[in-house]
Amino acid sequence: MTTGRFVSGRRQTPVSDARAAGEGFVHTKTFEILSRAGFVARALVWGIIGLLAFKLAVGWGGTITNQQGALHTVAKQPGGHFLLTLVAIGLGGYALWRFARAALGHGPEGADSGFERLAAAASGVGYAILCALAVDILLGGDGSSTTPKSATAGVLGWPAGTWIVGIAGALMIGAGCYYAYRGITQRFLRDSKVEEMGPRIRAWITLIGTIGLAARAVVFVLVGVFLIKAAVDYNPQKAVGLDGALAKLVDANYGPWLLGLVAAGLISFALYSLSDARYRRI
- Flag whether 9 is in a domain: no
- Flag whether 16 is in a domain: no
At 111 the pLDDT is 59
Provide CB contacts within 8 A for 5, sequence distance 6+. Answer: 11, 12
- How does DSSP assign 60-104, residue by residue? SS-----HHHHHHHHHTSTTHHHHHHHHHHHHHHHHHHHHHHHHH
- Flag whether 93 is in a domain: yes
Domain count, the chain: 1
What is the sign of the dihedral through the CA atoms of 120, 211, 215 and 67? negative
Alpha-carbon distance 237 to 114, whole Å?
33
- Flag whether 3 is in a domain: no
- Flag whether 197 is in a domain: yes
- From first to last of its 282 residues, the chain has per-residue pLDDT tens of 445 555 555 566 665 666 666 677 888 999 999 999 999 999 999 999 999 999 999 999 999 999 999 999 999 999 999 999 999 999 999 999 999 988 887 654 445 677 888 889 999 999 999 999 999 999 998 877 778 888 898 998 888 999 999 999 999 999 999 999 999 999 999 999 999 999 999 999 999 999 999 999 999 999 999 999 999 999 999 999 999 999 999 888 889 999 999 999 999 999 999 999 999 998
Q: 262, 53 in Cβ contact below 8 A?
A: yes
Q: 265, 214 in Cβ contact below 8 A?
A: yes
- How does DSSP assign 25-53, residue by residue? HHTSHHHHHHHHHHHHHHHHHHHHHHHHH
- Flag whether 135 is in a domain: yes
- Flag whether 20 is in a domain: no
- Flag whether 160 is in a domain: yes
Q: 45, 67 in Cβ contact below 8 A?
A: yes
Residues paired with 192 in a beta bridge: 280
Structural domain for 63, as ranges: 25-279
Alpha-carbon distance 282 to 36, whole Å?
8
Q: 165, 229 in Cβ contact below 8 A?
A: no
At 253 the pLDDT is 87
Alpha-carbon distance 75 to 47, whole Å?
15
At 8 the pLDDT is 53
At 11 the pLDDT is 60
